[in-house]
Amino acid sequence: MADSVFRIGSLTKQFTAAALLMLAEDGKLSLDDPVNRYLPEVSRNDPSTIRQLLNHTAGFTDHVGGADL
């Protein structure tokens, strides 16, 4: 079933958060870095930080279906 598509919902959030925290611990990024430094599709005018994303306080809405950020 390698060609099947499965909805994973929020299953990967904790793994993404753990990976970001490990990168921060290693000094490879700061939790206070702007999101658009790593995701250029996020507007340069958006001041959201990685910390805000991890705390779910960045103000992003649900973008299921590939809508633009």
10 among known catalytic residues: yes
Q: What's the whole-model pTM score?
A: 0.69
Q: What is the pLDDT of residue 39?
A: 86
Binned at pLDDT 50, 70 and 90, residue 51 comes out as very high
Provide the residue ranges of all domains of the chain, joining segments of one domain with +.
25-59
Q: Pick the catalytic residue: 10, 30, 43, 48?
A: 10
Q: How far apart are CA 9 and CA 18, in angstroms?
A: 17
- pLDDT (0 to 100) of residue 69: 45
Tens-digit pLDDT profile for residues 9-46: 778 888 989 999 999 999 999 999 998 899 888 877 87
> Within 13 Å, how many C-alpha atoms sit on residue 45's CB side?
1
CA distance readout (Å), 46 to 10, 16, 21, 33, 68? 24, 21, 22, 12, 13
